Structure 1
Amino acid sequence: MDWKNEFIDFCIKKKALKFGFFKLKSGRISPYFFNSGVLSSGIEITKIGLLYAQSIINSKIEFDVLFGPAYKGIPIVVSTAMALKKDYYLNIPYAFNRKEYKKHGEKGDIIGNNIKNKKIIILDDVITSGKAIHYSIKTIEKNEAQISSIFVLLDRQEQGKRELSTINCLNDKKKYNITSIITIQDLINYLLKDNILKRYVPALIQYRKQYGIY
């Protein structure tokens, strides 16, 4: 799709998407790296919010609250809530987690809207093996809320605690759907059409053969 290519082009120009050799949290050496943290201006975060809002509306998923995992998920849920209000006239509340449980003041491990008994969409920047997102799932389950779906900018589609487009929850083994703006395959398709950038394709294909899920 044109908007997928537009987003990849945007990320490369802003240096949010880089190619080379990068050691991931998992210890794997990746030929590419995505860092949404550099998309930090008003124009950039507005664009990100609109992409998420469009994807959420297109999914037709029922939900009550947007949830952003600390820390990169926080500006994502704020910008998405604003985009849903501005472009779709939906006044959707959001929440995000603390890294540490607060024992005074408002207390708890959630800031923002009360998520108990609500239908939640998790918004994060990247999903790899699914290990990191489990912390958010655990937090939401502990607060007695229901997860409707998970939305990410980039799905690296790597082996781990998940299948191709789903991830298992911790308690009852229910599978939650993952919707991504782009995947590693979208990235490969984009690079193949660029005479300069296509030199990175063999490394991405080899990496996917080693760690990818299909």
Structure 2
Amino acid sequence: MDFVKEFAIFLQKSGAIKFGNFRLSSGKDSAYYIDLRLVPSFPHQFRKMIKSLQSLISDKIGLDSFDYIASVPTSGLVIASALSIEAVKPLIYIRQKPKDYGTSSLIEGKIPEGSRVVLVDDVGTTGHSLLHAVKALKEAKMKIEHAFVIVNRLEDARKNLEQEGVKLYEITDILALANILHSEEMIDSQTIDRINSQMSKS
């Protein structure tokens, strides 16, 4: 069984993906909700996910094409932390807002100007949190051209990042996951229709 199929079934059985009616942090309504924060509670699946992400990065851009891994708190940072250990790459992270004490830094970690950075997050939706990180990295004079997520919700993250000169890659996307679950008779056709309808409105 390939990783994406195994992962889709795992997400459904573990409750990390749910179908129904949900309100997202953006305020939008959604026919599904993906919570990858649950995955580290299942260490074997978590490690498979991290190794799959590492393989994707290696295949698409090569592990020698960047110096640092960057992420945003909180769920993306858990993934990036595990990846940095597997890939033996230094890690930094970008706060949503500067801390109001100490150095007031937006970027946490030690990194020299001009470093080549790969951005990692859990789920790509509109790309808002990734764009915030990209802008912070650029302002700090870092080189950022690539971002990776586990699941792409296919709601404009790719287009929005491309406008900043950053290419987005994913292990899988919501349509691939939903189609696998439908073929395994774990969700019905109506659920697929609702997801397609939601994407056409995004």
TM-score range, shorter chain: 0.7 to 0.9
Distance change >3 Å, CA 57–CA 153, structure 1 → 2: same
* Structure 1: segments with no counterpart, 5+ residues: 85-90, 170-174
In the alignment, the residues of structure 1 paired with residue 26 and residue 102 of structure 2 have an alpha-carbon distance, to the nearest angstrom, of 36
Q: Please list, as runs of the form range in 1=range in 2, the aligned pairs for 1:64-103 lying within 5 A after superposition.
A: 64-84=67-87, 91-102=88-99
The 8 Å contact of residues 9 and 181 in structure 2, kept in 1 or not, is answered as no
**SS at 1:76 equivalent:** helix
In the alignment, the residues of structure 2 paired with residue 130 and residue 96 of structure 1 have an alpha-carbon distance, to the nearest angstrom, of 16
Pairwise CA distance, 1:14: 1.9
* 1:2 corresponds to 2:2: yes
Deviations 1:110-151 (A, max 9, x none): 222315211111000111122222111111111110113000
* 1:198 corresponds to 2:185: no
- Number of the residue aligned with 1:209: 200
- Number of the residue aligned with 1:163: 159
Amino acid at match of 1:204: I
Pairwise CA distance, 1:102: 4.2
Distance change >3 Å, CA 103–CA 132, structure 1 → 2: closer
**SS at 1:20 equivalent:** strand
In the alignment, the residues of structure 2 paired with residue 191 and residue 119 of structure 1 have an alpha-carbon distance, to the nearest angstrom, of 38
Higher helix share: 2
Of the candidates 147, 151, 165, which is equivalent to residue 150 of structure 1? 147
Pairwise CA distance, 1:51: 2.1
* 1:133 corresponds to 2:136: no
The 8 Å contact of residues 48 and 79 in structure 1, kept in 2 or not, is answered as no
Deviations 1:27-71 (A, max 9, x none): 321111111112232614433322221111111341110001122
- Number of the residue aligned with 1:87: none
In the alignment, the residues of structure 1 paired with residue 25 and residue 102 of structure 2 have an alpha-carbon distance, to the nearest angstrom, of 34
Pairwise CA distance, 1:72: 1.7
Higher alpha-carbon deviation: 142-151 or 4-13: 4-13
**SS at 1:108 equivalent:** coil
Please report the RMSD computed on the Cα atoms of aligned residues, expressed in angstroms. Answer: 2.3
The 8 Å contact of residues 50 and 83 in structure 2, kept in 1 or not, is answered as yes
In the alignment, the residues of structure 1 paired with residue 19 and residue 102 of structure 2 have an alpha-carbon distance, to the nearest angstrom, of 45
Amino acid at match of 1:75: V
Give % identity.
Answer: 23
Deviations 1:65-123 (A, max 9, x none): 00011222211111001222xxxxxx311111234424765652222231521111100
Distance change >3 Å, CA 83–CA 145, structure 1 → 2: same
Question: Aligned pair count?
Answer: 198
In the alignment, the residues of structure 2 paired with residue 190 and residue 25 of structure 1 have an alpha-carbon distance, to the nearest angstrom, of 26
Of the candidates 179, 198, 204, which is equivalent to residue 169 of structure 2? 179
